Amino acid sequence: MSPPVQIALQNAVNGLLIGGTYATVGLGMSLVWGVLNVINIAHGAFVMLGAYTTYWLFTLYGIDPFAALPLAGAALFVLGYGLQRVVINQVIRASFLITFLLTFGFELLITNIALSVWTADVRAITTVYSGRSLHLGPVIVPAIRLMTLAAALLVTVLLHLLMSRTRLGSAIRATASDQEAARLMGIPIGHVYAVTFAIALATAGIAGGLAGMSFPIYPAMGANYTFIGFVVCVLGGLGSVAGALVGGLIFGLLTTYAAGWLGPNYDYIVAFSALILVLLVRPAGLFGRAARFRG
């Protein structure tokens, strides 16, 4: 196999492996955006909290990072439910600008609290298997990234089943489709909104744990993941679990190939160019449908 082909194949593998984590980041943002019609600018800050939760569970208590993922998700679920019921629900009918500024304020608050508590020191989750790799011919597959991809796919499948096979999922989809009709059918809208936000934060917490196994952990990391979540939502299509998965994989491939072929400073330039192209050609994304959430 010629070196250019080998490099292209390696980039494809790397892009797909990391794309699973990006998809998990986008799932929560797509859920909140599609159901509550809120663009959660603080989404990346919650990803950061998930990364720190996983890190401290591993560092202080020796809990394997993958075993800590459900705990991080549960902690963010509780935080998300309370946050939506107590704060966000008070302005849920307000203008887009109000909810935008509110979540932006949350992002600043959470980031600065994390900076005060944990300082700006960069941390990493390093396990005994972090440096192991599988060699498939000329392609090297990092074991940790293969495992994170498997975990991301599992989260995606579970969310799909929740949205398509459960009464809660039906209630969420009905609320996203027509709030007044859902209310007339006896669906508790406030509770559905809170659970939706809680599920979104749970996926963000899990995404943070997955990201922390491959990337550095620091308080200001959230802004980057908010950007990633936004691009994944638009690429895959707002309101689609499958779209978030495909959008994450596409984003992973675009950034990996751009960094490998053009240089490390071109990854987001290429990704954002693709975002603009998708908005021009297919505004609803590859699988999306505006203001709806489908399993």
User: pLDDT tens digits, residue range 9-33?
Assistant: 999 999 999 999 999 999 999 999 8
Average pLDDT estimate for 115-125: 96
d(CA 195, CA 142): 35
**The two structure tokens encoding residue 162:** 């929740």
Nearest to 236 by CA among 200, 285, 271: 285
Give the predicted TM-score (pTM) of the model. Answer: 0.93
Between 147-161, 232-246, 276-290, the lowest mean confidence (pLDDT) is in 276-290
User: What one-letter code names the amino acid at 166?
Assistant: T
Output the CA torsion 36→280→44→290 (10° steps). 20
DSSP letter assigned to residue 286: S
- Determine the distance from the C-alpha atom of residue 75 to the mean position of all C-alpha atoms in its chain, rounded to a whole number: 16
User: What one-letter code names the amino acid at 34?
Assistant: G
What average pLDDT does the structure give for the chain? 91
User: Which residue shows structure tokens 């993941």?
Assistant: 225
pLDDT of residue 291: 42
* Helical packing angle, 241-261 and 143-165, nearest 10°: 160
Taking only the tens place, the pLDDT of each residue in 250-261 is 999 999 999 988
pLDDT of residue 179: 87
Residue 43 CA: distances (Å) to CA of 4, 28, 60, 202, 270? 38, 8, 26, 11, 23
Please say whether the beta carbons of 257 and 15 come within 8 A: yes
d(CA 178, CA 196): 15
% the chain with pLDDT above 90: 68
Please say whether the beta carbons of 16 and 22 come within 8 A: no
Confidence of residue 265 (pLDDT cuts 50, 70, 90): confident
Taking only the tens place, the pLDDT of each residue in 179-208 is 889 998 999 999 999 999 999 999 999 999
Average pLDDT estimate for 156-174: 93
Beta bridge partners of 217: 123
Average pLDDT estimate for 74-94: 93
Taking only the tens place, the pLDDT of each residue in 32-59 is 988 888 889 999 999 999 999 999 999 9
